Structure 1
């Protein structure tokens, strides 16, 4: 058994598939807020032959995230970190989305940036929503890049966010900014960090969005994209495997858009034409 440790936060559709793919021959530490769901996935992966440990985590709590990072480091060399935990507008109110999708990502980047091994890599699952138009000043971008995680929620323009959809889009744009900002810090440790922005993916979250009051718009995005199809967890796991593996050794501090061409169609004025 290798001394390498793979950490995956969030064990929904994407997280479970990434864990199954990346954890072969390594120690796999998976984490989720829902203990019952977490144990179910631990049992599944163990039955498939994985060396897997589960740990409950609240990604909006520094103590909880730091505890997960410490557990990972105690198991061996933390060479891969995939942060997939998140909430969508159909799942949660504004404040919960900001706590998990904005603060949670910042905490994971900060705490795992302290323990990731040389040669290691991390990926954050963001969203194509972060590529959609959103007005931010240079000063706001700088604040989102450098403000300590716990202080992000007290920024005036963050406090002014009312709607879950805006909170989600804002958080995902902030994820892109935050990943760029910490890339140098991770690089000092000999590690890389990137984000992936999925489009509409066939997961529980994706289907909740399709069934929501904005589902018709989401469906139109799929139909108007170059691929014309919904994404799969395997699509995102394949992108994660690239960014976590040696083939991407010169790629860090950036975002990989895996959306079937939705953003390309939107930016060229073809999405709803």
Structure 2
């Protein structure tokens, strides 16, 4: 009898932390843009007693994501999807951020939502940044949530003359992630499955270290220092929340977003952290 399959799209530290909590006695398929990175993660999981294999995926490519879906289906019924792939404002230009973080997430939700097993669940890693974008017009919210995936990047308010700053692109993408998940929860529910987002603050990973040492690093460090908790988070802390959302104690939660940022967003709105200026 085939075991249940958990797919990790973006097998970095956060994706791995979640998989360790929900992947016991399941087939874990770890996928990254770099097959070598995915294979190294799979070796670590197998050495720790898990059943794990590796795959390469480019979330900005429909053909690549569809191939990952088919590879996962060959292993068994897909009952878990962890989507943690993405690029940060310091890592990529505007077009790449929108293509990977916004379009790529919508694509993963569409294609895995077509095959997710009854009782299955997914978590998408969004960001605190989505919560700090000012309110969008209702029609833009709906467009981010409902526009067919292949038309998403054609939206007028996402064009190069409207989004010229990488942080703005990132915030729009992460706001779009949570809106998209809310809409997809309806479709996933028709298959008896659930999907939610987690919006972490600064979680210490290689990507976060790139940000802390990048052009916005000083601002990020001030943000951590001025937050109510006064520190960055860890991948394991995100893993605990994801385990709740994806496990038996979270079966009444779908289409929701959990903000876990050490109170940074609270400090932006009601404390001493200054909102960054976005060029648009």
TM-score greater than 0.5 by the shorter chain = yes
Task: Name the structure 1 match of 2:35.
Answer: 35
Alignment check: 8 A CA contact 2:89 2:167 kept: yes
Partner of 1:205: 207
In structure 1, stretches of 5+ residues that fail to align are none
1:164 and 1:150 map into 2 onto residues whose CA distance is: 22
Matched, 1:163 2:165: yes
Distance in 2 (alpha carbons) for counterparts of 1:33 and 1:149: 20
* Structure 2 residue 228 is the aligned partner of structure 1 residue 230: no
Q: Give the deviation of 1:19 after TM superposition.
A: 2.2
Q: What TM-score does the superposition give when structure 2 sets the normalisation length?
A: 0.94
Shift of 1:201: 0.7
- CA shift at 1:22, angstroms? 2.2
Equivalence for 1:47: 47
Aligned residue for 2:83? Answer: 83
8 Å CA contact retained: 1:9, 1:31: yes
Partner of 2:264: 262
How far the C-alpha of 1:135 sits from its partner, in A, is 4.1
Q: Please state how far the C-alpha of 1:47 moved relative to its aligned partner.
A: 1.8
> 1:211-252, CA deviations, whole angstroms, 9 ceiling, x for partnerless residues?
112111111111111111110000111111111101011111
- Checking the alignment, whether the CA contact within 8 Å between 1:2 and 1:25 is kept in structure 2 is no
Report the equivalent of 1:248.
Answer: 250
Map of 2:222 onto structure 1: 220
Q: The residue matched to 2:118 in structure 1 has which SS?
A: strand
Relative to the length of structure 1, the TM-score reads: 0.96
> C-alpha displacement at 1:164, in angstroms?
1.2
Per-residue Cα deviation, 1:48-73 (whole angstroms, up to 9, x for no partner): 22211111111011111122112222
How far apart in 1 are the matches of 2:87 and 2:133? 20
Q: Distance in 1 between matches of 2:28 and 2:145?
A: 30
How far does residue 74 in structure 1 lie from its aligned partner after superposition?
2.3
Distance 1:126 1:2 in 2: 31
**CA distance in 1: counterparts of 2:269 and 2:80, whole angstroms:** 33
Name the stretch that deviates more: 120-129 or 54-63: 54-63
Distance 1:42 1:117 in 2: 23
**Cα distance per residue 1:156-212 (max 9 Å; x no partner):** 111131121111111000001101111110001000000000000100011111111
Deviation of 1:83 after TM superposition, in Å, equals: 0.1
Structure 1 distance, partners of 2:263, 2:54, is 35
Q: Which runs of 5+ in 2 are unaligned?
A: 275-280
Counterpart secondary structure, 1:117:
coil
User: Map of 1:67-146 to 2, 5 A cutoff?
Assistant: 67-146=67-146
Give distance in 1, aligned partners of 2:70 and 2:40: 23
Asked if the contact 2:89/2:170 (under 8 Å) is kept, the reply is: yes
Higher mean C-alpha displacement, 135-144 vs 124-133: 135-144
State the distance in 1 between where 2:175 and 2:115 align.
25
| 1:2 and 1:26 in contact (8 A); partners too | no
User: Helix, strand or coil: the match of 1:195?
Assistant: strand
| Corresponding residue of 1:25 | 25
Secondary structure of the residue aligned to 1:38 is: helix
